Structure 1
Amino acid sequence: MKRIPVIFLRYMVFFLPAIILSVMVWNHYQEDLADGKIKENDVKRIFTFDEGKRVVSAVSKDQQLHYAMYDTRSAKRIKEWTISSDPFNEIWPSIQGNNLFLAFKNKDEQLMIEKLSPNGERKELVQKRVQVPSFLSSNTYQWNGRLVFTGETEGAEAVIGELKNGQFYLHKLNQLKLPARPVSVDAVMNSFKGQTPIPIFEVTLKNDKKAYVSGISNQKHQLGVYVSKGDEPFSLIDDTVEQQLKKTIGSSEDFAVAVESAYPKRARKVTADGGIGEVVPTPKPIYQTYVYQLNEEEVLIAGSTAKDEAKGKLTGYMYNHRTNKVTSASKLLQSFSYESLQREELSFNKNVKSDWLYYSFNKQLTGAFETKSKELKEFPLQKVISIENASPAHQTSVDTFTQYVMKGGPLILNWAIWILIPLLLFVLAIFLPPILRRVRKNKIKDSVTLEANIVSVKETGTYINEQPVVSMRLQFEYEGQRIEKTVKTVVSYTQIPQPDQRIVVHYDPKKKRAMLLKEVDFSQPIQPKFIKGAVLRKIESYGTVGRGTVLSLTFELDQKTYIIPMIQAAGFEFTTGEKADLVDINGQLKMAAYGHEVRNRSGKDVTLTGTIQRVKQYPIAIHEQKPIQLDVMVSNGDESITKTVSQFIPDHMQITSGTQITIQTKKEELEREMDLLQEKQGSAKVTNVSFAGVIGNLPLAIIQVERNGVLYEVKQPIDPITSVLPGDELWVAYHDMTRQAVIVKYASI
C-alpha cells in the first residue's frame, strides 16, 4: 500500500505538461464551438408553410446551403439537408397546395427546384438541365402564385420554365414555330408588375426581328405567341400583342388591380380594355400603395393611411376581384415598415382555396396569417438562430469534442503525446486486471472444483510487490485416479501454506491443468439463458386478477419441461402448440416472447431504468410466485413516461415504491411512443381490440380507438390485469396525420 503514493508522484511528473496542454486544448475547443455557431449573416432566408406549423431556414456555411425544417409548436428540427448552391445563394419561394417550393441555382449555374412536404419529404422537380444566366433574381418572375424562369438548355436553346399547380413545365421557344431561332428573352418592362394585362416576354430572333411570348401558359400548358411584322417598339403595338396573346391564354389570368401613377397612388381596378378604373373599395383609404398578386383571384393591397406615407401608418387589405370581397390584413403588416414594402426580398403566397396567407421578408421574418380568425404566427430570425445554436452540434459534449480532436493540428498532437504515456500506464492498471480475470474465466470454464492436499511448499526466489512466489506440490483425486500437479502462486510471509494443509483447486481434465481457486471466481455474473422455440403443451387456470386470468403454462423443448406463471389479458388466449421464447435469469423462468410476429420482430433492444411509483399486490400464489401490478416511471434521456406493468415475483419478496427496476424494449418502439407523447392528447373510445402476441409478461395489443369521428390505431404492450375491451374510454396521445396513437392512461379503470 505504501508504494501507491510513490508511483502516483512519479506519474505526476508526466501529467504536469499534459494538464497544462489540456487546459489550452479545452479553451481552444470552446472557441471552436463559438465560431461554429450560426450568426445573423449566415442565415440567407426563412420561409413558413403548412398553416404556420413548419418553418424552413437556409444557412450559408462552408460554401454550401444548409437547410433545416422546424416544427413551430415544439421548436424542434425535424429535417435537415445540404445542397451545393451558387456563390450568391439566391432562393425564390412559392407555396402551392400544402407544399413549399424553393428555386435556386446549383454550383453549375443550373436551375433547381425542390418540393418540400410538411412531413419532410423532398422531391426535385427540374428533370432537364436549365442554365440560368446572370443572377437568379434577374431571370425569375412571380405571377398569381406562379414562378416563371428564363434560361437556356444544352445547345443554347432558349426556354421559359413555369412552376404552377405544384408542377414544373419547360417551354422550348424553338417549338413555337418562330421564323428564326430565338437568341434572347427579356420581360417587357414592368410586365410582371401590371403594365400589361398578362406578363409578356420580348424575344429577339436571329434575323433581328421581335416576337412576343406570354409569360404564363394556359390550362393546356401552351404559350401565346405574336411575331412582329416590323421594327415597331412594343409601345406602339401593345394592344395588338395583348389581344393576340389573350386568345391563347384567356382573360382569367389578367392583372386585375393596378396602382395609379399619379399622387397619391391609390389601388384601382383594371378595366376590360386594360385601362385604370375605379378605386378598389377598401373600408379605409390606402395611399402610396403596393399591390402583391397572390393568385388568380386575390391581391394584397398595402400602403399608408395618409397621403404622405411619412405621416401615416402601414395598413392593408386582401381584395378578391372576382367576388369584390375585402378582408383586413393590418395585423399581418404590424411587423413591417413602409420601407419594407419596397424591398424585393418581401414575398407573399396564398392559394385560392386556403385561408392562410404566408409571407417571408428576406431572413428577418417569416409567418402565416389566417384571414378568417386573424390569427398570426410569426417566426423571427432570432428564433431560428436560437434553435440552431441549441443543437447538440454546438454544445459541449463527447461527440463535439471528438470531432474537434479529429481535426488535428499542432496543439492536439502535442497534447496527445504528453497525455498518452501516463494515460497508458493508468489504463493498464485499470483494464489489465479485468482482462486477466476474463482469461482466467475462460481457463476454468470447463474445469471442475476439487479439494487438494499440499504435499510440499518451496520458495522460488521471485518476488512480486515484495511478496514471495512459492511452488506448491498438490495431490488430489479425480474419477478414482490420484493426480499430482505443481502450481505457483504469490503468498504473504504471514500466510505461507504448509504441507498437509487442504486447499481448493480448479482442474481441467481435458488439458490436465490445475489452478488455485480465488474469490473472484465466485463473483462472475450469471448470464441469462434463452430457451428459444419451446412449444406450449398445457394450460391450467388459477383464478382471476382484475380483468386477467392467472395461468400455469407448461412448455416442452428437447424432451425438457418448463413451467411458468402468466396473466392472460381479457380477449386474448394462449393456444397449445404455439411456440415461445423463454429466458432463465438466476434460476427464475420467465416469458420472453410469444407468437410468431413478436418472436420475429426486428429492432435494437434497449434496457431502461424505471422507478416504481405504485405497487398493487393480489392474494393469489402459483408456483411460489405472486402477481403484482406496478406503475413505473421510465426515463429515456430528458424525457420520461409512466407505464403500468404486471409481473410475477417470489412470494417471499417485497417491493415498495421508489424501488428501481429495469425494463427491456425495442429502440424504435420507444422512440415512436416518445414522439407520440409530444402530440395532442385526449379521450378516445375503444372500438376493436386484437393481439399479435406477448412481449415478456405483456400482450402486444392492436387497438382501434375513435375520437371525434376519427379512427386511430394503438399498437403497444398493455397491462393484462387492467386489459382493454371495446367500449372502454382511454386517454391517448395521437397524431392527426399518421392516425397513430399511444395509451397515456387506462381511463376506464
Structure 2
Amino acid sequence: MKRIPVIFLRYIVFFIPAIILSVLVWNHYQDDLSAGKVTEYDIKRMFTFDEGKRVVSAVSKNQQLHFAMYDPQSGKRISEWTTASDSFNEMLPSIQGNHLLIALKNKDEQLLIEKLSPSGAKKELVKQNLQIPSFLKTNTYQWNGRLVFTGEMEGAAAVLGELKNGQFHVHNLSELKLPARPVSIDVVMNSFRGQTPFPMFELTLKNDQKAYVSGISNEKHQLGVYVSKSAEPFSLIEDKVVQQLKKTIGSSQNVAVAVESNYPKRPRKVDAEGRLGEVVPTPKPMYQTFIYQLNEEEVLLLGSTAKDEAQGKLTGYIYNHRTNKATSASKLSQSLSYETLQKEDLSFHKNVKSNWLYYSLGNQLTGAFEAKSKQLKEFPLQKVISIENASPAHQTSVDTFIQYVMKGGPLILNWAIWIFIPLLLFVLAIFLPPILRLVRKNKIKDSVTLEANIVSVKETGTYINEQPLVNMQLQFQYDGRNIEKAVKTVVSYTQIPKPGQRIAILYNPKKKKAMLLKEGDFSQPSEPKFIKDAILRNIESYGTVGRGTVLSLTFEADQKRYTIPMIQAAGFEFRTGEKADLVDINGQLKMAAYGHEVRNRSGKDVTLTGTIQRVKQYPVTIHDQKPIMLDVTVSSGDQSITKTVSQFIPDHMQVAPGTQITMQTKQEELDKEISLMQEKQGSAKVTHVTFSGVIGNQPLAIIQIEREGVMYEVKQPIDPITSVLPGDELWVAYHEMTRQAAIVKYASI
C-alpha cells in the first residue's frame, strides 16, 4: 500500500513537461489566431453594392488576393474565394445592374473579370486570353459606367475589351474593314476626359496610315471607324472623325457636362458642337468642380461652395442632363474631403434606373448613398476589419484548435510526445525505477571525475541569448597518458574562461568523450537590469568612423557613474544634462533610450533574431571595445527586411557573416517598416533631417525626402556611421497615399 504513492509521485513529475508544453501550445494557438487576423495593411480594396447590403473586401495574403463577400449588418459571410492576381494587385470595379464586376490581371498578365451577384455567386466573364501589356490602370478607361480595356491577343496586336450591361465584349480591331492591319493602338489625348464628345482611339496601320475607332460600341456592339487618307494631325480632322464615328454609335454617349478650364472652374453644359454653354443649374453655385460620369444620363458633380476651395465646403449634386434636374448629394460629400477627390482610387457608380450611388476609396472607405431618401450606408476601414476578424476562423473553438494542431510543427510534435509519455508510463511505471537505477549505475561506472587544464578558448561565432558559444581545448591525464579534448559551452562576456585555469570534468574512457562536470560553474544569462533616468555628465571624443563620431559618454544615476561607448550621427548631438535609460545585460552596459520622446514612447517591445549578411570593422578601440557596421536580415512571420546597424563588440571578438544576433524594437515600428517595404520603391533626395533621440545605438531620425516633386516623411532609427544629411540620395520604399517612407538603402555612401 505504501508503494503506490511513491510510484505516483515519481510518475507525476513527467506531467510537468506536458503541462508546460500545453500552456505553450495554447499560447501559440492564440498567437496563430491573432496572426491570421486582418490588418489595415492587408486590405487592398473595399466595394459596396446591392443597395449597401453587400460589402466585398480584397485582402492580400501569401501573394494572393482573398476576396470575401458579407452582409455588413449581421457580419455574416456570404462567400469567399481566392484569386491568383498579378504582383501589383490592381483591381477596378464597376456596378452594372445589380452585379459588382471586378477587373484584375492574373499572374500571366491576362485580363480577368469576376461578376458577383448578391447571393455570392461568382462568374468569370473573360473567355479569350486578352493580354494587358502594361499596368491594368494604364490600359483601362471608364466611360458612362462602362470599362474599356486595350490589349493584345494571339494574332491581333490591337484589341478593345468593353464591359457594359454586365457583359464583356471583345473587339478584334484586325477584323475591321481597314486598308491594313493595325499594329498599335493609342488613346486620343484626354479623350476619356471630355476633350472629345466621346472616347476615341488612334490606330497605326501596317502601311503607316492612321485610323480612328470609337472607344465604345453601339447597341449592336459595333465600333465607329474612320480611316485617315493623309498624314494630317488629329486636331485638323477632329470634326470629320467625330461626324463619321457618330454615324455608328449615335450621340447618346456624348459628353454633356464639362468643367470650364479657367477659374473658378464651374460645371457647364456642352452643346451639340462640343462647346461649353450655360452653367449647370444646381440649387447652389459650385466651384472648383470635379465631374464623375455615372451613366448615359447622369453625372456626379463634387466641388466647393466658394470660389476658393480653402474657404468653402465640399458639396455635391447628381445631375441628369436629359431632364436638366440636379439632386443634392451633400450628405455624401460630408464623408469625403476636397483632397480625396484627387485620388486615383476614388470611384463612383450608379445605374440609370436606380436611386443608389456607390463609391469606393481604395482601402479606406466604401459606401452607398440613396439619392431620394438621402440615406447613407458607409463602411470605413475599421468596420470592415472588425467584420473580417469576427469570422469563426479567427475565434477560439474546437474546430480552429483542431485545424491548428493539424498544421503540425516542432511544438505540436513535442506536445504530442509529452502527452503520450505519461500515458505510456502507466504501463512502464513498475519497470521505470530499476531502469533508471541501471542507467545511473552505468554512468557512474563508465565515467570518471578528473581535473583538466584549459589550453585555449576560441569563439565559434554563434550566440545563444546574446552570449558567445566558445570552444575550449582541455588537457588532462588519464591512466598515465596526456589527453586533449574539445568542449563547447556558452559563457558570459564577464566570465570567459582563461587559458591556464583548472576545471572539473567527466571523462568516459570507453567512448573517449569529455564533458563539463557542472555547467553551473559558469554564470547563466540573467534578466536585463535597467538603469532609469541616468544623467549625462561628461562627453569625450575618440575620433570619427564614417560620418559618425566615436564618443565616451559618462552617466550618473543614484550617485553611481556609468561609462558607455557610443557613435554620434552627423547632425545629432549628445548634450550634458540630458537623461537616458541604460541597460545592464550580463555585465555589459548599453544605451536603451535617449531623449524624452524616445524614452516615453509606447508600444509592445519585441526581440528579433537577425542574421548578419555583411560586416565592416573600424580601427578604433574605446574601453576595450570596437565599433562595427552590420547589414542584418531580420524576419517577422513570412516577411523579412535587411537593416544597417552599428554596434560595439569586445576588441578580441570576431563577427562573421552568417552569425545570428538579437535586436529589440517596437512591434508597431516593425509592422510599419515591413508594410512599407511591400510598397513601391525608388530613389529620393533628402531635404531636411531632425532627430527625436536615440534607440539603442541608433538615433531616431525624422527625414523629409522629395521624390518626383512629392514630399514624403521617413521616421525610423538610422545607422550613425552612415548618417543621413540634406542632399543625400536614398533608395526608399514609399506609400503614395500616406506619404510615409522607409529607407531601403543608404545610396549616398
TM class, shorter-length: 0.5 to 0.7
Q: What is the total number of aligned residue pairs between the two structures?
A: 429
In structure 2, distance between residues paired with 1:188 and 1:125: 27
Cα 1:55–1:209 shift into 2, 3 Å: same
Deviations 1:21-45 (A, max 9, x none): 3333333332222221101011111
The amino acid across from 2:151 in the alignment is G
Partner of 1:148: 148
Residues 157 and 184 of structure 2 are in contact (CA less than 8 Å); yes or no, is this contact kept in structure 1?
Answer: no
Deviations 1:339-361 (A, max 9, x none): 11111111111111111111111
Partner of 1:473: none
TM-aligned CA deviation for residue 232 of structure 1: 2.2
SS at match of 2:18: helix
Cα 1:350–1:3 shift into 2, 3 Å: farther
Cα 1:320–1:407 shift into 2, 3 Å: same
Cα 1:427–1:39 shift into 2, 3 Å: farther
SS at match of 2:14: helix
The amino acid across from 1:48 in the alignment is T
In structure 2, distance between residues paired with 1:209 and 1:399: 66
The amino acid across from 1:411 in the alignment is L
Partner of 2:361: 361
Partner of 2:178: 178
In structure 2, distance between residues paired with 1:87 and 1:4: 65
TM-aligned CA deviation for residue 401 of structure 1: 2.7
Given the two structures, how large is their TM-score scaled by the length of structure 1? 0.56
Cα 1:70–1:4 shift into 2, 3 Å: farther
Residue 273 of structure 1 pairs with residue 253 of structure 2:
no
TM-aligned CA deviation for residue 138 of structure 1: 0.6
Residue 318 of structure 1 pairs with residue 318 of structure 2:
yes
| 26-35 vs 174-183, greater mean Cα deviation | 26-35
Partner of 2:198: 198
SS at match of 1:344: coil
TM-aligned CA deviation for residue 2 of structure 1: 6.6
In the TM superposition, 1:115-134 aligns within 5 A as: 115-134=115-134
SS at match of 2:240: helix
Deviations 1:332-388 (A, max 9, x none): 111111011111111111111111111111111111111111111111111111111
The amino acid across from 2:405 in the alignment is V
SS at match of 2:281: coil
Partner of 1:86: 86
TM-aligned CA deviation for residue 6 of structure 1: 4.0
Residues 145 and 349 of structure 2 are in contact (CA less than 8 Å); yes or no, is this contact kept in structure 1?
Answer: yes
In the TM superposition, 1:62-77 aligns within 5 A as: 62-77=62-77
The amino acid across from 1:395 in the alignment is Q
In structure 2, distance between residues paired with 1:428 and 1:380: 61
In structure 1, distance between residues paired with 2:155 and 2:400: 48
TM-aligned CA deviation for residue 60 of structure 1: 0.8
Deviations 1:498-532 (A, max 9, x none): xxxxxxxxxxxxxxxxxxxxxxxxxxxxxxxxxxx
TM-aligned CA deviation for residue 206 of structure 1: 2.1
The amino acid across from 1:29 in the alignment is Y
TM-aligned CA deviation for residue 245 of structure 1: 0.8
Deviations 1:110-141 (A, max 9, x none): 11111111111111111111111111101111
TM-aligned CA deviation for residue 399 of structure 1: 2.7
Partner of 1:299: 299
SS at match of 1:357: strand
In structure 2, distance between residues paired with 1:357 and 1:36: 34
Partner of 2:405: 405
In the TM superposition, 1:140-539 aligns within 5 A as: 140-424=140-424
Deviations 1:669-720 (A, max 9, x none): xxxxxxxxxxxxxxxxxxxxxxxxxxxxxxxxxxxxxxxxxxxxxxxxxxxx
Partner of 2:45: 45
TM-aligned CA deviation for residue 269 of structure 1: 0.4
Cα 1:426–1:364 shift into 2, 3 Å: farther
Residues 104 and 112 of structure 2 are in contact (CA less than 8 Å); yes or no, is this contact kept in structure 1?
Answer: yes
Uncovered stretches (5+) of structure 2, i.e. residues with no partner: 430-749
Residues 286 and 305 of structure 2 are in contact (CA less than 8 Å); yes or no, is this contact kept in structure 1?
Answer: yes
Cα 1:36–1:262 shift into 2, 3 Å: same
In structure 1, distance between residues paired with 2:134 and 2:11: 65
Cα 1:14–1:276 shift into 2, 3 Å: same
In structure 2, distance between residues paired with 1:197 and 1:426: 88
TM-aligned CA deviation for residue 426 of structure 1: 6.7
In structure 1, distance between residues paired with 2:91 and 2:206: 32
Deviations 1:549-581 (A, max 9, x none): xxxxxxxxxxxxxxxxxxxxxxxxxxxxxxxxx
In structure 1, distance between residues paired with 2:410 and 2:233: 68
Cα 1:426–1:193 shift into 2, 3 Å: farther
SS at match of 1:230: coil
In structure 2, distance between residues paired with 1:215 and 1:60: 32
| 405-414 vs 10-19, greater mean Cα deviation | 405-414
Cα 1:8–1:285 shift into 2, 3 Å: farther
In structure 2, distance between residues paired with 1:148 and 1:31: 45
The amino acid across from 2:378 in the alignment is E
Partner of 1:96: 96
In structure 2, distance between residues paired with 1:2 and 1:299: 92
In structure 2, distance between residues paired with 1:263 and 1:147: 31
TM-aligned CA deviation for residue 156 of structure 1: 4.3
Given the two structures, how large is their TM-score scaled by the length of structure 2? 0.56
In structure 2, distance between residues paired with 1:426 and 1:275: 94
SS at match of 1:418: helix
Cα 1:423–1:136 shift into 2, 3 Å: farther
Partner of 1:108: 108
The amino acid across from 2:254 in the alignment is D
**Which of the pair has more CA radius of gyration?**
1
In structure 1, distance between residues paired with 2:163 and 2:186: 18
In the TM superposition, 1:659-678 aligns within 5 A as: none
In structure 1, distance between residues paired with 2:289 and 2:179: 42
Partner of 1:525: none
Cα 1:354–1:14 shift into 2, 3 Å: same
Cα 1:235–1:2 shift into 2, 3 Å: farther
Cα 1:350–1:18 shift into 2, 3 Å: same
* Structure 1: 4+ residue segments shifted above 6 A: 426-429
In the TM superposition, 1:590-609 aligns within 5 A as: none
The amino acid across from 2:86 in the alignment is D
SS at match of 1:48: strand
Partner of 2:600: none
SS at match of 1:347: strand
In structure 1, distance between residues paired with 2:129 and 2:424: 57
In structure 2, distance between residues paired with 1:51 and 1:249: 31
Deviations 1:305-330 (A, max 9, x none): 11111111100111100000110001
Partner of 1:479: none
SS at match of 1:338: coil
In structure 2, distance between residues paired with 1:42 and 1:119: 25
Cα 1:210–1:14 shift into 2, 3 Å: same
Partner of 1:501: none
SS at match of 2:41: helix
TM-aligned CA deviation for residue 214 of structure 1: 0.4
Deviations 1:623-671 (A, max 9, x none): xxxxxxxxxxxxxxxxxxxxxxxxxxxxxxxxxxxxxxxxxxxxxxxxx
CA RMSD of aligned residues (A): 1.9
The amino acid across from 2:298 in the alignment is E
In structure 1, distance between residues paired with 2:134 and 2:396: 43
Residues 182 and 203 of structure 2 are in contact (CA less than 8 Å); yes or no, is this contact kept in structure 1?
Answer: yes
SS at match of 1:118: coil
Residues 156 and 172 of structure 2 are in contact (CA less than 8 Å); yes or no, is this contact kept in structure 1?
Answer: no
SS at match of 1:335: coil
The amino acid across from 2:59 in the alignment is V
Q: Percent identity?
A: 79
